[in-house]
Amino acid sequence: MDRKLLNPAGFLQRSDETVKLFIMLVLAYAAMALLKPSIFVTKKYTLSMLYLFPEYGVLSLAMMLSMISGGIDLSIVAVADLTGISGCMLLVALMPEHPSVLVALGVLVLVIVFALLIGLSCGACSAFLISKIGIPPMLATLGSADVILGLAIAVTKGSSVKGLPSILSDVFNKTLLGILPVTTVVFIICSLIVSYILVKTAYGYKVRMLGSNATAARYAGIDTDRVIFQTYMMSGMLAAVSGILMCARFNSARSDFGTSYTLQAILVCVLANVNPQGGYGKTRGIILSALILQILSSGFNMFPGISNFFRNLIWGAVLLLAIIFNHISRLAYFQEKFPPKPRPPAPRA
């Protein structure tokens, strides 16, 4: 028998990660369905899961882009909150008292474009700190998050933006054909766009090369500063999309929406085997990992004995286990592909 098959880490590293994640998805769903079939295996509960996960799923796409570049974006939730607040305030200011459907949709489109521009600007600020000043991505985006969140609190004075026109919730809270929420459609569109950019464009090649070896990328003639700006501006725009989805769900805007989503976005990326050191990540892994996380989260909600205060503890433990497992798998893979050369025998006296 092949000894390599006896090495679980090496075997799992060689097997297709999409298959692994799909198996995990099936097992997670089966486990929750067996525990509470009368609640979990219902159309209403399934629709609620499909409706909720795109909020942090889109943020996970943003986190994946920054991690592939060799960095990280800890400002995505703050950007989502600021863009949601700004967009909702503009929506309230521009919407007529009794608008027609076309006018309401036109104003909503304008608000979404405005929110995307706000997210793009926030991402550009983080990119400037990283590429031009030389601040490490973790510190740059952490500082940006505090500034952006402080701005959001200052604009709202700590309160929420209420009294929104119904067009926002009417559009994003709909279900197409009774089985597919609009939020899921938005997530699918964002995933397809990100996948196309990473696979079919020159930027996708450049950002992977930057994440794999920044020095080699510079010597290869790649404008690394431009790639960093593109990465964090796209991350900011994706965060803006998530901010709009959160505001549509609550029909209001606050500066504390999605406070736990930063950890969840990182966890989704780690489960999807996105390399935290840069250079590798796939969109389909993000999709499957986000679904796994939503199934587990919805499963926890079925048990009132599990307090929400333990949720971050559980996610943190899962994150550490996933990091350890991926690290061991990569070490086993490289040891198999590049075994150490045997030392030559010592010369005889």
Q: What is the pLDDT of residue 159?
A: 82
In whole angstroms, give the CA distance from residue 25 to residue 289. 8
Contacts of 183 (CB under 8 A, 6+ apart): 50, 51, 52, 54, 55, 172, 245, 248, 249
In whole angstroms, give the CA distance from residue 73 to residue 136. 11
Q: What is the pLDDT of residue 3?
A: 42
pLDDT band of 21, cuts 50, 70, 90: confident
In whole angstroms, give the CA distance from residue 177 to residue 13. 39
More confident residue, 52 or 190: 190
Give the three-class secondary structure for 74. coil
> Are the C-beta atoms of residues 60 and 285 closer than 8 Å to each other?
no
Q: What is the pLDDT of residue 1?
A: 36
Residue 177 pLDDT > 70: yes
Q: What is the pLDDT of residue 344?
A: 67
Using the 8-state DSSP alphabet, how is residue 347 labeled?
Answer: P
All structural domains of the chain:
49-331 (1.10.3470)
Mean pLDDT is lowest, of 6-20, 206-220, 311-325, for 6-20
| pTM score | 0.86
Contacts of 69 (CB under 8 A, 6+ apart): 207, 210, 211, 227, 228, 231, 278
In whole angstroms, give the CA distance from residue 32 to residue 40. 7
When pLDDT is averaged across residues 161-190 and rounded to a whole number, the result is 88
pLDDT band of 2, cuts 50, 70, 90: very low
Give the three-class secondary structure for 181. strand
Q: What is the pLDDT of residue 135?
A: 93
Q: What is the pLDDT of residue 316?
A: 76
